[in-house]
A = this chain, B = another copy of it.
Amino acid sequence: MIVVAAVALIALAVAGGLVREVLRADQGTERMQNIARAVQEGAAAYLTRQFRTLAIFVVVIPFLLLLLPGETDVRIGRSIFFVVGAVFSALTGFMGMWLAVRGNVRVAAAARDTGEKRAMRIAFRTGGVAGMFTVGLGLLGAAVVVFLYQGDAPGVLEGFGFGAALLAMFMRVGGGIFTKAADVGADLVGKVEQGIPEDDPRNAATIADNVGDNVGDCAGMAADLFESYAVMLVASLILGKVAFGEQGLIFPLIVPMIGVVTAIIGIFVTGLRDRDRSGMSAINRSFFISAAISAVLVAAAAFWYLPDSFGALSGSAVKSDADPRLIAIGAVLIGLVLASAIQLLTGYFTETNRRPVREIGESSATGPATVILAGISVGLESAVYSALIIAGAVYGAFLLGFGNVTIALFAVALAGTGLLTTVGVIVSMDTFGPVSDNAQGIAEMSGDVEGEGARVLTSLDAVGNTTKAITKGIAIATAVLAATALFGAFRTAVESQLAQTSSFSLSIDQPNVLVGLVVGAAVVFLFAGLAIMAVGRAAMRVVFEVRDQFRNNPGIMDGSVKPEYGRVVDICTRDSLRELATPGLLAVMTPIAVGFAFGYAPLGAFLAGAIACGTLMAVFLANSGGAWDNAKKLVEDGHHGGKGSEAHAATVIGDTVGDPFKDTAGPAINPLIKVMNLVALLVAPSVVLYAGNAALRVGVTVFALAVVVGAIVVSKRRSATSEPANNHKREQTPVAS
Residue in B closest to A720 when the chains form the complex, CB atoms: B355
In the complex, which residues of chain B have a beta carbon less than 8 angstroms from the beta carbon of A526?
A: 380-381, 384
The reply to whether the CB of A391 lies closer than 8 angstroms to some CB of chain B is yes
A657 to B514, Cβ gap below 8 A?
A: no
Q: Please tell me if the beta carbons of A384 and B529 are within 8 angstroms of each other in the complex.
A: yes
Q: How far is the CA of A656 from the CA of B521 in the complex (A)?
A: 27
Interface 9-mer from A31-39, A89-97, A337-345, A357-365: A357-365
A518 & B374 in contact (Cβ 8 Å cutoff): no
> Which B residue sits closest to A488, measured CB to CB?
B509
Kindly identify, within residues 444 to 478 of chain A, every residue whose CB is under 8 Å from any CB belonging to chain B: none
Q: Is the CB of B363 within 8 A of A536?
A: yes
A730 touches B (CB below 8 Å): yes
Closest Cβ of chain B to A449, distance in Å, is 30
B-chain residues with CB within 8 Å of residue A378 when the two chains form the complex: 529
Give A8-33 interface residues, CB cut-off 8 Å to B: none
12 CB < 8 A contacts A-B: A192-B369, A365-B727, A369-B657, A380-B526, A391-B515, A408-B510, A488-B509, A491-B509, A506-B507, A517-B612, A612-B613, A613-B613
**Given A188-B370, A398-B512, A508-B508: A384 and B730 interface contact (C-beta under 8 Å):** no
Instruction: Write the nearest CB–CB distance from A179 to chain B, whole angstroms.
Output: 15
Chain B residue at minimum C-beta to C-beta distance from A192: B367
Q: Is A613 touching B611 in the complex (CB atoms < 8 A)?
A: no
Residues of B within 8 A of A615 (CB): 518, 521
The complex places the Cα of A646 from the Cα of B737 at a distance, in Å, of 10
Q: Which residues of B contact A525 (CB under 8 A)?
A: 380-381, 383-384, 387, 616, 620
CB-CB contacts below 8 Å: A338-356 with B: 355
Q: Which residues of B contact A719 (CB under 8 A)?
A: 359
The answer on a CB contact under 8 Å between B518 and A387 is yes
Is residue A595 within 8 Å, beta carbon to beta carbon, of the partner chain?
no
Question: Number of residues in A with C-beta < 8 Å to the partner?
Answer: 95
Q: Which residues of B contact A188 (CB under 8 A)?
A: 366-367, 369-370
Known contacts A394-B515, A536-B363: does B616 contact A380 (CB below 8 Å)? Answer: no
User: If A188-B369, A384-B525, A387-B522 touch, does A723 touch B362 (CB 8 Å cutoff)?
Assistant: yes
Min CB distance A654 to B, Å, is 8
Residues of B within 8 A of A504 (CB): 507, 509
Please report which residues of chain A, range 141-190, place their CB below 8 angstroms from some CB of chain B when the two chains form the complex. 184, 188
Q: Which residue of the partner chain, among B367, B388, B408, B522, contacts A522 with CB atoms under 8 Å?
A: B388
Does the CB pair A518–B730 fall under 8 Å? no
A543 at the interface (CB under 8 A from B): yes
Q: Judging by beta carbons under 8 Å apart, are B613 and A363 in contact?
A: no
A535 at the interface (CB under 8 A from B): yes
CB contact under 8 A between A373 and B535, given known A365-B730, A391-B519, A613-B612: yes
Q: A359-B719, A508-B605 are in contact. Are A536 and B374 (CB under 8 A)?
A: yes
Cβ B405 vs Cβ A604 within 8 A? no
Is A376 in contact with chain B by the CB < 8 A criterion? Answer: yes
A263 within 8 Å of B (CB atoms): no
Residues of chain B lying within 8 A (CB to CB) of residue A355: 720
Contacts of A653 in B (CB 8 A): 367-369, 372, 653
Please state if A369 and B656 are interface contacts (CB–CB under 8 Å).
yes
